[in-house]
Every structure is written in C-alpha cells, then in structure tokens.
Amino acid sequence: MATKDENGTVIVRKEQKQKLKPPPMYQVLLLNDDYTPMEFVVAIIQEYFNKDRETATQIMLMVHRDGKGMCGVYPKDIASTKVELVLTHARKAGHPLQCVMEEA
Ligand code: TYC
C-alpha cells in the first residue's frame, strides 16, 4: 500500500508477510481400562473413526497392550465432537471407556 508523508513523499510499505498458520490438528485417543469389552471398543472405532473391522481390531489391541492408541487426526471441532459422541455412547452402554484429544 502507498501513502504520502507530510512533505508529500510517497511512502511504499512492504507487503505484510502472510502470518496465518494452518489450523492445529488434534489426535483422538482411546485409553485402556479393565472393564470395557474388546468387542465394544472395536465397534466404536469402526463407527466413529471409519475404520474397517481389521484395522479397528488392531487399534483396539494396541490400546489394550500399550494403554492408549490413536484413532484419527482432525481439526479441533471435529475431534471434540468425536470425543463427546464416543463418551456418550460408552456411558449409555454402561462402559467406562475413556476418549481424549491432544494437539498433534
Ligand atoms: N482392556 C479391555 C479388556 O480387556 C479392552 C479395552 C481395549 C478397553 C481398549 C478399552 O480402549 C480400550 N476387556
């Protein structure tokens, strides 16, 4: 953009640097517990994270073995909605399954 100072001198400002960063992404993780049935966890991963049965089973077993496992990476509002839907479904079914999100 060009403007003039008090003497009429044209001042040309350098173009503003583009400072916008891409929006942060969030991992959605399932946490292990001793009570939620394996079959229920597999069904949850298939339903909310669009995985086939085989992939869902692998993720479930990883959570069972390592304590936690990643189901997907999403923008903040989508990750947050998935966490809420999973927790609501698990509580309605009477299971203590935990689902969390963290910045990727
Ligand atoms: N540990 C559970 C069991 O033995 C299975 C399980 C897997 C629970 C993954 C939660 O996120 C989980 N029934």
Q: What angle do CA 84, 34, 91 make, to 5 degrees?
A: 30
What tens digit of pLDDT does each residue of 26-76 get?
999 999 999 999 999 999 999 999 999 999 999 999 999 999 999 999 999
Q: Which of 31, 32, 99 to mutate to test the pocket of ligand 1 (most atoms within 8 A of CB)?
A: 32
Each domain of the chain, given as residue ranges in start order, spans 23-103
In CATH, the architecture of 23-103 is 2-Layer Sandwich (3.30)
Q: Token match 């929006």: residue? A: 23
Distance CA 16, CA 39 (A): 54
What tens digit of pLDDT does each residue of 58-67 get?
999 999 999 9
Which atom of ligand 1 lies nearest, measured to the CA of 64?
7
Instruction: Write out the two tokens for 79.
Output: 């990750």
